[in-house]
A and B are shown apart, each in its own frame.
Chain A
Amino acid sequence: MALLDHVTLLLNMMRIRRMEEVCAELYTQEKIRGFLHLYIGEEAVAAGVLSLMRPQDNVMATYREHGHALLKGVSAKQILAEMFGKVEGCSHGRGGSMHLFSSVNRFFGGNAIVASGIPQAAGLALAAKRLKEDRHTVCFFGEGAMAEGAFHETMNMAELWKIPLLFCCENNLYAMGTALKRSQSQMDLVKKANAYNVTANSVDGMNIIEVIEKTQIALDFIKREQRPYFLEFKTYRFRPHSMFDPELYRNKEEVMNWKEKCPILTFKGHLLQKNMISELQIQELTLKVEKEIQEAIIFAEQGTWEPIEDLEKHVYENDL
């Protein structure tokens, strides 16, 4: 399997980070409206797992999915245009921040009902297996989703029916304001998966190399055994849950402590220390990212509004 080189891995995390920062700015300028959930702090998970995804692989994500969409091949232009509500957006302005879709990139959303995408991902994986297609199917969700029935029902059926699905739990410790310890009687998430006989592993989600190594093991297992696998990525979101969150449920010290583990800073440090990258190269990467994102903003800004006459399009394939 083609693994991205270290510089590209760093670049991809920087792309997500910068795009998210810009989204926050555009939100305060009211260019982006609605709910906006940022992925800042969790980049190593998406960048690591998606470095192993090929164009034909299926990815299902949540409402905190900008980064996943970007690394699955949806352009920053299309993503920002979508958040602006423009017809050039990846969902033609019908979806918004929480509903990014791209069928050509096999990116299936963008689901804003917690845990709702999980059984659908199992269905995609089942289809790929039955149709003998060479595809991985990966499903991202937060630890909060693990309290939902849809999660438990799917874990059970995935193992029962030998569905080759990779469950990726992004455990950032909080579901909105509810800490894991206040929502789960069993806080060891690997044990939860094991309860369904699903093989599982826990990963330092702030360390992209570990993310990649353990994801590769999981994918190999799934391919060999044609069964599901569960990965818990221990991570942290540095920003509020959404733009409306006053963060009453955690203290600044905790956030500061986690920020020291920033997946981008630590990976940069690691690469510099090992002479795998130079300061100059990092500057070049920064400029490259800035260019991509600035072009995306211009693209989104220059995008057009879908005519209101088209409002009732896309409800059915053929207009009734």
Chain B
Amino acid sequence: MKMTYREALREGLKNALEENPNVFLVGEDVGAYGGTYAVTKGFLETYGPERIMDAPLSEVGFTGIGIGAAMGGLRPIVEIMTVNFSLLALDQIINSAAILRHMSGGQISVPLVIRMTTGGGRQLGAQHSHSFEGWYAHIPGIKILAPATVEDARSCLSYALKDPDPVLIFEHALLLNTSEEVGELPEIRSPFKAVVRKSGTALTLITYGGMLNRCLEAAKEFEKLGKEIEVIDLRCLRPLDNETIFQSVKKNHRVLIVDEGWKSGSLSAEISARIMENCFFDLDAPVERLCRREVPIPYARHLELAAIPQADEIIKKIQEIIK
């Protein structure tokens, strides 16, 4: 059956709420409004205000309440409207959720899931177009998921809810209306491992989230020319699945990383460094990267398009590497 990314998120949440009475959703406009992106339309009526909690504009406060509720035995899902506003909750996420276990010598567990949309590309200007998932991946103590497919959007939440540690899920806003053919039941495949979305031998293309479809599009162009590009969807940005990355690099010897975040001090830099440390003698060419240009995202369409990696750019870059 065909399903959109939005419907998939909705189904994932529904399953979670139905499976465990201790699961509840708290965030801005998740209830009466039906979800900022209409993901939770009708949930308030179905599950009631105790389980679908419309929070005031208090990102620090309700994230902290989520942490406490998780410590107290509930299974909260905190929804932060978008990654941009998660900056207000950074103290709770980093100074508590991520480190309470370690700081308490292993005594305190924070089994909390935080969901938020991420990414640019909708002409929303610099304050609403951030891509900070790679930045969050810097932090020990949390796990970072970035579902890029409808299937992952549907199934990753149930895995996140089974995890004893805080898990952040980054849902790409541009993907909400994309649709895919999926099976009746959610897939049984851990979201904490990378997946090879398309196999090939000419080059290893490493990406995640909103960039996956563009990379697959680019790979298709090369297929026409008889060149098979291998596309890795990271899915989980922390912990990184070194094994899948290194295996592919050792086989293909050429690498391009496509990351929607800024380049400096980024996830793409981290992956590149790991490849250098572990696969240096397997490389036939320097590891290349395509990232968000180092500017705040501008409003004008043509400028925004130029600031975020697009399929044609990816194609051009691959050509340069495999020429």
Q: With a CB–CB cut-off of 8 A, which chain B residues contact A320?
A: 239
Q: With a CB–CB cut-off of 8 A, which chain A residues contact B105?
A: 89-95, 101, 314
Chain B 124-168 interface 0/1 with A at a Cβ cutoff of 8 Å (1 = within): 000000000000000011010000000000000000000011000
Complex contact B62–A119 (CB within 8 A) = yes
A317 to B165, CA, bound (A): 7
Chain B count of residues within 8 A CB distance of the other chain = 42
Which residues of B from 94 to 115 have beta carbons under 8 Å from A? Answer: 95-96, 100-109
Partner of B140, one of A111, A157, A315: A315
Q: Does A269 belong to the interface (CB within 8 Å)? A: no
Q: How far is the CB of B267 from chain A (nearest CB, A)?
A: 17
Q: With a CB–CB cut-off of 8 A, which chain B residues contact A90?
A: 105
Partner of A157, one of B65, B74, B95: B65
Q: With a CB–CB cut-off of 8 A, which chain A residues contact B73?
A: 127, 131, 133
Q: Does B186 belong to the interface (CB within 8 Å)? A: no
Q: With a CB–CB cut-off of 8 A, which chain A residues contact B102?
A: 94, 314-315
Looking at A12-20, A147-155, A294-302, the stretch in contact with chain B turns out to be: A147-155
Complex contact A127–B95 (CB within 8 A) = no
Q: How far is the CB of B99 from chain A (nearest CB, A)?
A: 9
Complex contact B65–A120 (CB within 8 A) = yes
A130 to B73, CA, bound (A): 10
Complex contact B71–A157 (CB within 8 A) = no
Complex contact B60–A119 (CB within 8 A) = yes
Q: Does A286 belong to the interface (CB within 8 Å)? A: no
A234 to B56, CA, bound (A): 31
Complex contact B104–A123 (CB within 8 A) = no
Q: Does B207 belong to the interface (CB within 8 Å)? A: no
Which residues of A from 282 to 305 have beta carbons under 8 Å from B? Answer: none
Complex contact A126–B65 (CB within 8 A) = yes
Q: With a CB–CB cut-off of 8 A, which chain B residues contact A109?
A: 100, 103-104, 108
Complex contact B104–A124 (CB within 8 A) = no
Partner of A91, one of B56, B103, B143: B103
Complex contact B74–A131 (CB within 8 A) = yes
Which residues of B from 234 to 263 have beta carbons under 8 Å from A? Answer: 239
Q: Does B231 belong to the interface (CB within 8 Å)? A: no
Partner of A127, one of B74, B101, B141: B74
| Contacts known (A108-B108, A157-B55, A160-B56); A119 close to B64, Cβ less than 8 A | yes
A116 to B64, CA, bound (A): 8
Q: Does B69 belong to the interface (CB within 8 Å)? A: yes
Complex contact A154–B103 (CB within 8 A) = no
Chain A 94-138 interface 0/1 with B at a Cβ cutoff of 8 Å (1 = within): 110001011100001111010010111111111110110100000
Complex contact A103–B108 (CB within 8 A) = yes
Complex contact B65–A101 (CB within 8 A) = no
Complex contact A153–B61 (CB within 8 A) = yes
Q: How far is the CB of A317 from chain B (nearest CB, A)?
A: 4
Q: Does A35 belong to the interface (CB within 8 Å)? A: no
Q: Which residue of A lies closest to B60 (CB)?
A: A150
Complex contact A150–B68 (CB within 8 A) = no
Partner of A120, one of B96, B104, B107, B143: B96
Partner of A123, one of B58, B68, B106: B68
Q: Does B92 belong to the interface (CB within 8 Å)? A: yes
How many pairs of A and B residues are in contact by the CB < 8 Å rule? 154
Q: Does B48 belong to the interface (CB within 8 Å)? A: no
Chain B 19-62 interface 0/1 with A at a Cβ cutoff of 8 Å (1 = within): 00010000000000000000000000000001001011010111
Q: How far is the CB of A301 from chain B (nearest CB, A)?
A: 19
Q: How far is the CB of A185 from chain B (nearest CB, A)?
A: 21
Q: Does B294 belong to the interface (CB within 8 Å)? A: no
Partner of A315, one of B71, B107, B141: B141
Complex contact B56–A111 (CB within 8 A) = no
Complex contact B69–A124 (CB within 8 A) = yes
Complex contact B101–A122 (CB within 8 A) = no
Complex contact A120–B101 (CB within 8 A) = no
| Contacts known (A94-B105, A119-B92); A126 close to B60, Cβ less than 8 A | no
Q: Does A156 belong to the interface (CB within 8 Å)? A: yes
Q: With a CB–CB cut-off of 8 A, which chain A residues contact B108?
A: 101, 103, 108-109
Q: With a CB–CB cut-off of 8 A, which chain B residues contact A125?
A: 68, 72
Complex contact B165–A316 (CB within 8 A) = yes
A277 to B95, CA, bound (A): 46
A137 to B58, CA, bound (A): 21
A42 to B162, CA, bound (A): 43
A153 to B50, CA, bound (A): 19
Q: With a CB–CB cut-off of 8 A, which chain A residues contact B92?
A: 116, 119-120, 150
A92 to B101, CA, bound (A): 11
Q: Which residue of A lies closest to B75 (CB)?
A: A127
A93 to B96, CA, bound (A): 18
Q: Which residue of A lies closest to B53 (CB)?
A: A161
| Contacts known (A108-B108, A126-B69, A127-B68); A119 close to B101, Cβ less than 8 A | no
A60 to B67, CA, bound (A): 13
A262 to B108, CA, bound (A): 36
Q: Does A215 belong to the interface (CB within 8 Å)? A: no
Q: Does B91 belong to the interface (CB within 8 Å)? A: yes
The 3 residue pairs across chains A and B that have the minimum distance between CB atoms: A123-B68, A119-B64, A127-B72
Known: A94-B105, A99-B103, A314-B102. 9 other contacts (CB 8 A): A93-B105, A120-B92, A122-B61, A122-B65, A149-B61, A154-B65, A157-B55, A157-B62, A314-B105
Q: List 5 A-B contacts (CB under 8 A).
A: A95-B103, A120-B64, A123-B69, A127-B69, A131-B73
Q: Which residues does A use to contact B, with CB under 8 Å?
A: 58, 60, 89-95, 99, 101-103, 108-111, 113, 116, 118-128, 130-131, 133, 149-150, 153-154, 156-157, 160-161, 313-318, 320
Q: Which residues does B use to contact A, with CB under 8 Å?
A: 22, 50, 53, 55-56, 58, 60-74, 76, 91-92, 95-96, 100-109, 140-141, 143, 164-165, 239
